[in-house]
Each structure stands twice: as structure tokens, then as C-alpha cells.
Amino acid sequence: MRSITDSEGNSHEIVQGRLIPSPDVPNHPVLSTQALFQRIRSATPSILDSGHHVEVTSGRYAIALAAEIINFRDGDEILLPAYHCSSMIDPMLNVGARPVFYKINRDLSVNLEHLKQQVGTQTRALLAVNYFGFPQNLQVLRDFCDDEGILLIEDCAHCFFGASNGRPVGSYGDFAIGSYWKFFPVLDGGCLVIRDDSLATPGVEAQSPYVDLKTVYNTLEHAINYNRMWLLQPAFMALETFRTLFRRDGVKLRTNVSEWPADEDIHYVEDDGFEFDAERTHLAMTRTSQTLISCLSFGRAIERRRENYRAFLRALDSLSNGRPLIKDLADGVVPYVFPLYLDDMRSVFPRLEDAAVPMQRFGQFLYEGVTPDLCPVTDDFSKNVIQLPCHQELTDNEIDSIVQRTRDIVG
């Protein structure tokens, strides 16, 4: 996906050959003055309460680091959920592990009966996902792994905050991975939590001062593009004009925050459209993002995400052609997104895109061999579920706008 700005200043994205308007509401948190200065206390734990950790550029590379520590040998097997994204698959393929997929249930829990059938003599580990910010029954999975003599990798990329059976997310796995950029207004950042204190923390290489300078600029630019940090807007407009005038092609072309020209050595967030690069496994999270995280209120993120999720529940629970995938927001659950099931995705999704509704589709592209026969639930969710943002930086007007556009199209 690539973003361009036309001659009238309107932003568009090219997605699979279609030119669609860029969402005017941020899909992920963007920096704001409230984020920097508003403080709220919360007793809800985070993955960082689960053990010592190392910070890398994203959750994908945290998984890669875990795979490296486990020391998979060619032919070793890793149990993975049928409902997945490439960030779970690529790091395992890189170390020669063979993916073996297990079913999920409609409540997004692991299908334990099928999981037991998938264990073989070469199974080394299980990767379990806390989808969309809702923790699994992790004690059951911990007991399963102990009984089978395999390792547990707890994927908390969607679940930075929360608890399962009274313990912080991330504390059940031999390894747990988290994703900062999904929960905070930073452009990169992931972490690997290592349960065994006797294991040496893998070394990571700091990024250059040049990359940090770019990160500062891009973080602020991203915020200003969505009308945050507006006091800085005149200065950035002047700087952007200067940059545009001196581009060789003379055309204003703004890339995604994930993308920069090939000659600029900068590494930001990737999604399923980005190739896995093993050389980035030992690349540290930028100092800019580390500093920002240390300044932000976890309590504010927790409270506002829960409030926003409840707002979507109230507004979208009565759709005629769709429904919230998860209606129960239990105490201590801190959602990553608001998953919405659509009855007619094929016709509705392009209209949502054309209306610039900010959304994601987790599991849209599945690994070869993951067929409808293997897991009908995965096939259904992959084809019919979208995720709307519910992050802490959304304004009430932006939520109302998302709701209205969605209701107008979905019915």
C-alpha cells in the first residue's frame, strides 16, 4: 500500500490497484498534547510486569528473537493458530521450523482437542495469540505445554495490558512478545519477555542518530497530519514546502509512515505487505520511541480504550447486516481494536474503503495449506471480520464519524 497526495492536497492510497481515499481518522495512536501531559492511574498490569525483556523494532522481530533463542533445528515443528498473520509465520520459516496449524473456536480460544492431535515427536513449541486485546485462558495452555514438554510463546501483540486468572498477560509463556506501536503513539517498537531469568538477554544494536532524528520528525508529522500538535503545524508546513521544492521530481509524494525512499536507512513498522528481514532481528527500538513510551500514561491508554470500545458496542450492536464479534468487555480487558463481523463483506468492504473508514483486516492472507476444511472458523473470520480502531487518541467526533459511516453502509 502506498499513499499519495494529489494536486488539490487530498490524500489517497493505492491498494491492490484501487485508488481509495486515505482515512482522515488515525488507525493507530498518534501523538497529542493529552498523551504527553494527561495522567491517569490504573491497577491493570501490562506485559512489562511479566519478566525481564528486550526491546526490538516490532513484535515480528520479538518472535524472531524467541525463535533464535529456542534454537529450532530443520524439521522441528511449531504449533501456530490457523487464524494468523505473516508476522507469526515468517520468523519461524527463517529458522527452519515447520508450521503446524491448530483450530480456533468462535470465541477465539484454542481448540484444545484439535491442538492435542497436532502434537508430534518433533513439536518444540506452541504459539498462542491473545486476539484483539482479549486474553486467552492461559493457565490451560501453560498446563498443556508442561504436560507435552514443549515451550509456550505467548503472543501479546494485540494484548499489551490485562490479566488472565489474576496474572499479567505475558507471564504464562516461556516467552511473550508485545507491540508498542499498536498501543502507543510511536512508529516502532516491540518487546520480548523472557520468563527464565537464567537465560542471557540477547544483544540488540542501537539505531543511528540519523534514524532517531527521522523518527522525531515522522512522529510529529504523523500527528500534525491528523490535526494533533497543531501549534507546530505552521513550522512543519514551511519545512514540508522546502522539502517539496527541492525534490528531484518536483512532485509532492508522501509515503506511508512505514515507507521511506530506499536510500534512507530507516526501519519502521511493517505489516503483511512487508517482507521479513532477518538482519533486523537484533535491531533495537529507536531511542525516540523508547523516550516517548517512558513519558506516556499507561492508565490513560487503558481507560480510554475501554471507554471507546464501549462506545462502539452501544452504537453498532443493532446493525442489520453486521455485529460486534466480542460483546463482553470484562474487567481488566484492554482492547487493541473493535472487531466487527460483516454479513456481506464482498460488497460492503469496498464501500467502507471508499468512505475512508479506518479499519484493518487481521488474517486476510493465510499461509498455504490453511484451508476452510482445516478450520472453518478461521475461514469465516478471515473473510468477514474487520477491525475498527478504538485507541486512546480518538476524539469523540472521530468515533461518531466512524460510527455514522459504518452504519450508513452496513445498515
pLDDT in the model for residue 321: 94
Residue 205 has pLDDT above 90, yes or no: yes
What is the arrangement of strands in the sheet containing 2-5, beginning at the earlier edge strand?
2-5, 11-15, 18-21
pLDDT of residue 289: 96
CA distances from 66 to 54, 56, 193, 202, 353 (A): 11, 12, 9, 9, 36
- Per-residue pLDDT tens for 285-327? 999 999 999 999 999 999 999 999 999 999 999 999 999 999 9
- What confidence tier does 399 reach under pLDDT thresholds 50, 70, 90? very high
Per the confidence metrics, is the pTM higher than 0.85? yes
**Region 225-230: what's the mean pLDDT?**
84
Report, as an integer, the average pLDDT of 376-392.
Answer: 97
Closest CA to 308 of 325, 329, 293: 329
* Class of domain 47-194 (CATH, top level): alpha beta
| Ranges 140-144, 269-273, 299-303: which has the least confidence | 269-273
Instruction: Determine contact, residues 321/343, Cβ cutoff 8 Å.
Output: yes
The answer to whether residue 252 scores a pLDDT higher than 90 is no
Residue type, 70: I
Q: What is the pLDDT of residue 267?
A: 33
How large is the average pLDDT for residues 362-369? 92
Average pLDDT over residues 25-51: 92
Give me the pLDDT at residue 243, please: 59
Q: Is the pLDDT of residue 269 over 90?
A: no
pLDDT classification of 5: cutoffs 50, 70, 90: very low
Of the candidates 261, 255, 278, the one whose C-alpha atom is nearest the C-alpha of residue 63 is: 278
Any idea what the Cα angle at residue 32 is, between residues 262 and 209, rounded to 5°? 40
Per-residue pLDDT for 256 more than 60?
A: no
- State the fold for domain 297-410: Aspartate Aminotransferase, domain 1 (3.90.1150)
> Strand 151-156 relative to strand 123-129: parallel, antiparallel, unpaired?
parallel
DSSP state of 184: S
b/e 43-58 (16+ beta carbons within 10 angstroms → b)? ebbbbbebbebbbbbb
Identity of the residue numbered 3: S
Determine the pLDDT at residue 158: 98
Exposure pattern of 2-26 as b/e (b: 16+ CB <10 Å)?
A: ebbeeeeeeebbeeeeeebebbebb
**Which has more confidence, 138 or 243?**
138
Domain residue limits, the chain:
2-7+14-19+206-280, 47-194, 297-410
